């Protein structure tokens, strides 16, 4: 089936959806992006994703040529155009075409791309069995250099983390900040459970303000599970009862081994499974309906 890509106001087929070699997103990582999911025709927390996109844009002084409400319809329209119900959506805004110099003033128009397709980050059995991870030697970008809160196209740091995971023969890695606190995964936020309390690092340590992270914190609070946003170290990870990662692409995936240490019983824990169950229910309702009319 043909795949339609939104590109600067038009839908083009997959093969025609190309960008210029002078695009500053390509030349310099000068741009931002979002990963969004639709579940059963509902774009999960679409407004929150777009608020983060517009915050990233503001931070790098990039003007998006659509209002937030227009962008909601563009994303929904791309899912509709591809007749999808369950989809992963990649929204990219680059500074656009310039010359070979750095100067963003030479890039008059931003490039806006929306791609919707089906994507499973991990094999389905890993969501029930759990994954093994390592702690990467690569440290997270420092917040005072390139803020990890800006979801920029500059993901080389995260790619280096992923390469380390692959070299170690595992799927994913945890990342520490320059002080040695565990902050997140290569593209996920991290949680641990100890004595029934759910912990996740505060985002000021250098993590992205994950939409899934926030949803899971809210679900835990509704279930009267205590949550704490506190720094933790590798040691805390090793002795946790349960660990899981959250992200739009990864969804909620249990971690059962870190640097060769078996976590808890070696199986996804009870709190993780409970949160996962409710998260899956929420994704069906907590969103922007793709196929319903919007005023
Ligand atoms: N951290 C990083 C570095 C990411 O790229 C992502 C994916 N967007 C996340 C965390 C998880 O964020 P979210 O739940 O909003 O997808």
Both tokens assigned to 40: 């059963």
Q: Are residues 55 and 201 in the same domain?
A: no
Both tokens assigned to 182: 């565990």
Instruction: Kindly state if the Cβ of 210 falls inside 6 Å of ligand 1.
Output: yes
In this predicted structure, what is the pLDDT of residue 188? 98
Instruction: Kindly state if the Cβ of 184 falls inside 6 Å of ligand 1.
Output: yes
Task: Tell me if 287 is assigned to some domain.
Answer: no
Tens of pLDDT along 64-113? 999 999 999 999 999 999 999 999 999 999 999 999 999 999 999 999 99
Q: Are residues 62 and 137 in the same domain?
A: no
Instruction: Kindly state if the Cβ of 35 falls inside 6 Å of ligand 1.
Output: yes
Select from 250, 240, 143 the least CA-distant residue to 188.
Answer: 250
- Which band of pLDDT confidence, cut at 50, 70 and 90, is reported for residue 295? low
Task: Tell me if 250 is assigned to some domain.
Answer: yes
The active-site residue, picked from 149, 151, 162, 284, is 151
Containing structural domain, residue 83: 4-117
CA of 211 from ligand 1 middle (Å) equals 7
For the CA of 52, the nearest atom of ligand 1:
15
In this predicted structure, what is the pLDDT of residue 173? 98
% residues pLDDT > 90 (the chain) = 95
Instruction: Kindly state if the Cβ of 200 falls inside 6 Å of ligand 1.
Output: no
Question: Are the C-beta atoms of 160 and 175 separated by less than 8 Å?
Answer: no
Cα–chain center distance at 147: 15
Residue nearest to atom 10 of ligand 1 (CA): 188
Across all residues in the chain, what is the average pLDDT? 96
Q: Are residues 277 and 178 in the same domain?
A: yes
The DSSP line for 168-217 is TTSSEEEEE-TTS-EEEESSSEEEEEETTEEEE--GGGT----HHHHHHH
CA of 157 from ligand 1 middle (Å) equals 14
Please identify, among 63, 82, 117, the residue that sits at the C-terminal boundary of a domain: 117
Q: Are residues 38 and 142 in the same domain?
A: no
Tens of pLDDT along 138-155? 999 999 999 999 999 999
Please identify, among 117, 140, 160, the residue that sits at the C-terminal boundary of a domain: 117
Select from 151, 12, 152 the least CA-distant residue to 78.
Answer: 12
Please identify, among 117, 141, 161, the residue that sits at the C-terminal boundary of a domain: 117
Statement: residue 261 has pLDDT above 90: yes
Q: Are residues 132 and 112 in the same domain?
A: no
CATH of the domain at 211: 3.20.10.10
In this predicted structure, what is the pLDDT of residue 294? 79
Tens of pLDDT along 170-179? 999 999 999 9
Instruction: Kindly state if the Cβ of 203 falls inside 6 Å of ligand 1.
Output: no
Q: Are residues 101 and 132 in the same domain?
A: no
Q: Are residues 111 and 130 in the same domain?
A: no
Q: Do the interacting molecules here have an ipTM over 0.90?
A: yes
Tens of pLDDT along 158-215? 999 999 999 999 999 999 999 999 999 999 999 999 999 999 999 999 999 999 999 9
Q: Are residues 274 and 165 in the same domain?
A: yes
For the CA of 213, the nearest atom of ligand 1:
14
Select from 220, 160, 165, 196 the least CA-distant residue to 269.
Answer: 196
For the CA of 211, the nearest atom of ligand 1:
15
- Whether 151 is catalytic is yes
With the most atoms of ligand 1 within 8 angstroms of its CB, the residue from 34, 39, 153, 247 to mutate is 247
With the most atoms of ligand 1 within 8 angstroms of its CB, the residue from 208, 213, 244 to mutate is 208
Question: Are the C-beta atoms of 218 and 195 separated by less than 8 Å?
Answer: no
In this predicted structure, what is the pLDDT of residue 217? 98
Long-range contacts of 70-74 (CB under 8 A, 24+ apart): 72/43, 72/46, 72/47, 72/288, 72/294, 73/294, 74/6, 74/112, 74/114
Give the pairing type, strands 251-258 and 131-139.
Answer: parallel
Task: Tell me if 100 is assigned to some domain.
Answer: yes
Q: Are residues 214 and 106 in the same domain?
A: no
Instruction: Please give the span between the terminal C-alpha atoms of the chain, in angstroms, as a whole number.
Output: 31
Q: What is the Cα–Cα distance from 212 to 218, expressed in whole angstroms? A: 10
In this predicted structure, what is the pLDDT of residue 292? 87
Q: Are residues 129 and 258 in the same domain?
A: yes
């Amino acid at each position: 089936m043909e795949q339609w890509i939104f590109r600067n106001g038009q839908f083009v087929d997959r093969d025609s959806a190309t960008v210029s070699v002078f695009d500053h997103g390509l030349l310099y990582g000068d741009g931002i992006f979002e990963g969004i999911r639709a579940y059963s025709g509902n774009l999960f927390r679409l407004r929150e994703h777009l608020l983060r996109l517009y915050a990233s844009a503001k931070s790098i002084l990039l003007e998006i040529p659509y209002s937030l409400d227009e962008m909601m319809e563009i994303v929904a329209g791309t899912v509709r155009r591809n007749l999808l119900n369950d989809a992963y959506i990649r929204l990219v805004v680059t500074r656009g075409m310039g010359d070979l110099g750095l100067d963003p003033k030479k890039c008059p128009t931003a490039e806006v791309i929306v791609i919707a397709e089906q994507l499973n980050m991990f094999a389905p059995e890993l969501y029930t069995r759990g994954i093994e991870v390592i702690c990467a030697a690569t440290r997270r970008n420092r917040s005072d250099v390139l803020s990890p809160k800006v979801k920029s196209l500059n993901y080389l740091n995260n790619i280096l983390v992923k390469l380390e995971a692959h070299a170690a023969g595992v799927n994913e890695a945890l990342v520490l900040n320059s002080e040695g606190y565990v902050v997140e995964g290569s593209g996920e936020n991290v949680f641990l459970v100890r004595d029934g309390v759910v912990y996740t690092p505060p985002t000021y340590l250098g993590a992205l303000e994950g939409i899934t992270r926030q949803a899971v914190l809210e679900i835990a609070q509704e279930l009267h599970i205590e949550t704490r946003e506190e720094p933790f170290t590798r040691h805390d990870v090793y002795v946790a009862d349960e660990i899981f990662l959250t992200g739009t692409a990864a969804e909620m995936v249990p971690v059962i081994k870190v640097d060769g240490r078996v976590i808890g019983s070696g199986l996804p824990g009870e709190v993780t499974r409970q949160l996962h169950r409710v998260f899956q229910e929420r994704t069906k309702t907590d969103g922007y309906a793709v196929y319903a009319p919007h005023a």
